[in-house]
Amino acid sequence: MKRKGQTGSTFKYLFALIIGAMFILFFIRFASQQTSTLEKISGAEFVRNFDDILTEVTVSEDQKFPFDLGREESIRFEDGQISLPAKKITVKTDKIVFAPSTIKSRKITIWTKRWKWPFEIANFFYIWDGKSVSYVVYDETARDVIDDVIYFNGDTLASMKVVIISYENFTKIRNRIQQNAKIIWFASKAVPKLKQKIIRVKFNEDDKETGILDFDGKEVPYVGMETLFGAIFCSDAQGYEDAFSKAKEKLDVMRELQSERMDYIMLKKQECMQAYTPLKEAMVQELNTPQQYALFREKVVSLNKGLEAGCPAIL
């Protein structure tokens, strides 16, 4: 006859086995659900849920999100819309998306970064097809900018086949680069005649985080490293311009909100009126050229540093 202590031990052992089995079943079920979720993101579901997917990843300031669509799909990004022509599905999005006009791939990566100028504006979304290769070519005139890019984003860019290479090393391999690669030309040297698509970066000398992007003769502004990254993932000037226009609209909305915020604060704290007046003027400053964007950021940052105690920062 078993003693009471032995019975208790046996019960505990059986209980542990049952709980262990339940945990194993739970994780098997969880893994199965995850696998089926990835399969369901394929094709039509990915396109239909695209805006919701971007909304979910917006909580991150800097993160990559890879997707396996299950099979190769042809997906178009055009004029604020994502579409799957084979299934005649088109969905609008108000998100700021930098993407090729067409992606033909089974795997897609979404990289998101928060754009600040100088206060937080919105998340940018970069779409990569898992295959395309880009080369960022630089020389000593762009060394400081490239160092910043590598320090903050080097690993992410490398994982998305963005090769950051000096002008000297590029000249050694230029004849071996695949024809469908893209070249982002940061160097001051003359752009060579190549078969690949080339985007030339023209810095604003007073602030290299602003400047002009030359898409084969079509010039559009860039404002911050985040927009420079946009040029890497867009296939043409039109796609970049569409995304940048949305970014500009969101910046204008944020400037208006900041102005209204200052009006509210001044009703409570009239002593802030003198400090806020030049800041309010900055919020309606015209923004078209790289120089104007640079001056706006410099002015807002400088005026915030000089705010009197008790007047909240507008950043």
Q: Give, for all 315 residues of the chain, the pLDDT tens digit.
A: 444 444 444 444 444 444 444 443 433 343 333 333 333 477 889 999 999 999 998 888 899 999 999 999 999 999 899 999 999 999 999 999 999 999 999 999 999 999 999 999 999 999 999 999 999 999 999 998 899 888 889 999 999 999 999 999 999 999 999 999 999 999 999 998 899 999 999 999 889 999 999 999 999 999 999 999 999 999 899 999 999 999 999 999 999 999 999 999 999 999 999 999 999 999 999 999 999 999 999 999 999 998 988 899 998
Yes or no: say if 121 and 251 are a contact pair by the CB < 8 Å rule.
yes
Residue spans of the domains in the chain: they are 47-235, 246-305
Yes or no: say if 256 and 263 are a contact pair by the CB < 8 Å rule.
no
Gap between the Cα atoms of 227 and 225, Å rounded:
5
The predicted pLDDT at position 60 comes to: 87
Yes or no: say if 226 and 124 are a contact pair by the CB < 8 Å rule.
yes
Gap between the Cα atoms of 242 and 246, Å rounded:
7
Gap between the Cα atoms of 19 and 5, Å rounded:
21
